[in-house]
């Protein structure tokens, strides 16, 4: 009597259907929002020293030049609105390990169970890169303010709209932080099989052009040196991410070939 065919074991790493992906995405978004909200409350209490640090280059420009340079709060609720926005940005920066972990947790179901142990490696790379981008933007910001205010003619007044000034500062900080962490996301997408490394490599010209355009927009100083200083590390991280993804793909192919050879030998 012929034996019944053995049942296939369920693959724990099988890809989730679309509905489960959407539910998982919603769950991660809620967790991210809760984490940011908690740190936003903490950011409310450190708003004053952060605002003083952001205002410092304006005060220096006012001391070294002729005329008035100051931040102007135009509306009645402008100061409150700005404090809320700055607190949210502080919350985003401070909670970066939390929401980066949620990003990894959303991507990791596409990885094999043996690869999910790289969570610590992902966070160990993503968090310092994000904070490094934030620190770089923090370093660029006062230089940009100083250079831009130097264009003001003598004996003139430069009253900076508080909302626009703070929006520019916060956008700069978050943009550089996210730009520096994007290569780690590239690696995660390559490891999950969502985007092969050759796809990233094929688009390297567009990526480099986009990086330099981004650097030109986000560094409002008129000199090209600052733009190049910003763009070169981002390009290096982009190609480094491609290299890491390609090495992992090659390792997978070698492991698959060994398993195939072992299966052929046992047949």
Note the pLDDT of residue 264.
64
Mean pLDDT of 133-160: 80
CB 104 within 8 A of CB 120: no
pLDDT category, 3, cuts 50, 70, 90? very low
Other CB atoms within 10 A of residue 217 CB: 10
For 186-212, the pLDDT digits (tens) are: 887 787 677 788 888 888 899 899 888
pLDDT category, 91, cuts 50, 70, 90? very high
Looking at the structure of the chain, the number of domains it has is 1
> Which of 14-18, 34-38, 238-242 is the most confident on average?
34-38
Note the pLDDT of residue 8.
42
Note the pLDDT of residue 112.
58
Q: The domain containing residue 92 runs over which residues? A: 19-266
And the tokens for 232?
């070169």
**What's the angle, vertex CA 166, arms to CA 76 and CA 97, rounded to 5?**
120
CB 92 within 8 A of CB 181: no
- Distances in Å between the alpha carbon of 252 and those of 13, 115, 192, 196? 15, 11, 12, 12
Note the pLDDT of residue 37.
94
Tell whether 9 is covered by a domain.
no
Tell whether 3 is covered by a domain.
no
Tell whether 7 is covered by a domain.
no
Residue 226 has pLDDT above 80, yes or no: no
> Which of 37-41, 146-150, 211-215 is the most confident on average?
37-41
Distance (Å, whole) CA 164 – CA 166: 6
Label residues 44-58 b or e (16+ Cβ within 10 Å = b).
beebeebbeebbebb
Label residues 174-187 b or e (16+ Cβ within 10 Å = b).
bbbbbbbbbbbbbb
Tell whether 141 is covered by a domain.
yes
Tell whether 151 is covered by a domain.
yes
Other CB atoms within 10 A of residue 189 CB: 19
Tell whether 262 is covered by a domain.
yes
Over pLDDT 70: what percentage of the chain? Answer: 83
Distance (Å, whole) CA 255 – CA 244: 17
* Mean per-residue pLDDT of the chain: 79
Tell whether 215 is covered by a domain.
yes
Tell whether 81 is covered by a domain.
yes
And the tokens for 146?
């100083």
For 101-115, the pLDDT digits (tens) are: 888 777 766 555 555
pLDDT category, 66, cuts 50, 70, 90? low
């Amino acid at each position: 009597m012929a034996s019944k065919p053995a049942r296939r074991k369920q693959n724990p790493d099988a890809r989730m259907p679309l509905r489960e992906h959407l539910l998982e995405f919603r769950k991660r978004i809620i967790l991210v929002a809760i984490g940011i909200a908690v740190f936003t409350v903490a950011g409310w209490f450190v708003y004053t020293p952060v605002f003083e640090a952001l205002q410092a280059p304006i005060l220096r420009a006012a001391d070294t030049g002729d005329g008035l340079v100051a931040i102007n709060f135009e509306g009645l609720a402008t100061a409150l609105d700005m404090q809320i926005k700055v607190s949210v940005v502080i919350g985003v920066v401070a909670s970066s390990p939390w929401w980066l972990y949620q990003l990894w947790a959303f991507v990791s179901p596409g990885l094999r169970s043996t690869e999910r142990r790289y969570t610590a490696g992902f966070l160990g790379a993503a968090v310092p890169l994000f904070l490094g981008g934030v620190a770089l933007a923090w370093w660029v910001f006062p230089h940009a303010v100083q250079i831009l205010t130097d264009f003001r003619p003598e004996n003139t007044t430069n009253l900076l709209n508080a909302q626009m000034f703070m929006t520019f500062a916060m956008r700069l900080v978050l943009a550089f932080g996210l730009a520096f962490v994007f290569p780690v996301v590239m690696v995660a997408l390559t490891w999950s099989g969502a985007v092969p490394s050759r796809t990233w490599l094929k688009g390297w010209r567009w990526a480099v052009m986009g990086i330099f355009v981004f650097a030109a927009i986000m560094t409002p100083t008129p000199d090209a040196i600052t733009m190049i200083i910003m763009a070169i590390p981002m390009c290096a991280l982009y190609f480094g991410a491609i290299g890491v993804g390609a090495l992992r793909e090659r390792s997978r192919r070698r492991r698959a070939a060994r398993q195939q050879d072992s299966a052929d030998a046992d047949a």
